[in-house]
Amino acid sequence: MGVRIDPWDYRLVQEYDKLITVFGIQPIDNVEHYELLNHHFFKRRIVFGHRDLDKWLEALRKGERVAVLTGFMPSGTPHLGTAMVFEELKFFQSIGAHVKVVIADAEAYAVRREDRETTIKWGLEFIKHAIAWGVDPERAEFYFQTAMRDSYYRLIQMFSRKVTLAEMEAIYGDLSPAKVMSALTQVADILHLQLDEFGGYRYVLVPVGVDQDPHIRLARDVADRFEGELGLKRPSSTYHKLLRGLDGNKMSKSRPDFAIFLDDDEDVVKKKIAMALTGGRATAEEQRRLGGEPWKCMVYELYTYFLLSDEELKEITESCVKGGILCGECKRLAYSKLVEKLREHKKRYKEASEKINLDSIVKTPSF
């Protein structure tokens, strides 16, 4: 049986090197104009792969109009895994890209079977959290899948003509009508920015977790088939490693005890960090003698993704592998740094909630 990625699965994607080989994702190290990617997500290989990122970077370097599009499933408070994408959007804005963010409310309703009213409410919350994290609303667009212009939905219908069910099943596995509609809607999300009425952005980059690559592959195939009819080009994409939950499995809203949510109380964060899986040894004596194994540690993963500068990360790594720091002390340090970051986010979230008129930013679905 071949390797398949399921974008609707809650299980953790692993073996990133194997995915590069099987699906033809290019290693991030090989991209041209790598010097433009001045963010620790790239330097630390958290963003590990891409498709045609070099073409997008070349267009950016030449001053052409470029855009970034990504989306969120609105089903509860964002967690740190979601914040990874906020961070990427903020970075791409900083180097000159226009950003567009889709709230995948149609998918949430049809595939996840979320309540409509709740989905819309959480979608608006996601927008406020994105702005609080640092996404500039003056250089971003937000939209709900069910509140777009007619031509967006026309794309979905047109795309269905040149895609077969067998082809989609080869990409996604077993499909329901809801998943077929969701996949075609995702393709419209990815490609619609190229149309003149949506900005005419000929170079569109889609930063996603690697679990979303099936949508990228389908969108690239569809773009090829509509190059003559609509003038579409293949989108570019980047892939980040999924932040693991505190037990080592996928961080997910469905497993709240092992996820750090952006609105978690400090005592809740403290308890979660205290029970996190680490790379520590069986005893303190053994750890001082043999050193820890940070690559197995979820606390170290938080350091790598969010909490430490390059110099601090180097110091904590060396101290761990040499047995200079034990897990209890390391968890206390992680807690203090994480709480500081969450306090700042909550402050900015409160400011965003009070000052921003969401009606001026996004069209809310009527039902």
Residues of the chain with pLDDT > 90, as a percent, come to 88
**Mean pLDDT of the residues in the chain:** 94
pLDDT of 5: 66
Q: Which of the residues in the chain have pLDDT under 50?
A: 1
The pLDDT value recorded for residue 4 is 62
Half-sphere exposure of 206 (CA within 13 A, CB side): 31
pLDDT of residue 3: 57
* pLDDT given at position 9: 62
Contacts 24+ apart (CB under 8 A), 223-231: 223/191, 225/162, 226/158, 226/159, 226/162, 226/191, 230/158, 230/194, 230/195, 231/194
Token pair 């640092």 is found at 134
Residue-by-residue DSSP string for 88-109: HHHHHHHTT-EEEEEE-HHHHH
At the top level of CATH, the class of 16-242 is alpha beta
Residue 67: the pLDDT is 98
Domain ranges of the chain: 16-242, 256-354
Given CATH 1.10.3720.10, say whether it is the number of domain 256-354: no
What pLDDT, on the 0 to 100 scale, is given for residue 75?
85
Q: What is the pLDDT of residue 1?
A: 40
What does the pLDDT read at residue 295? 92
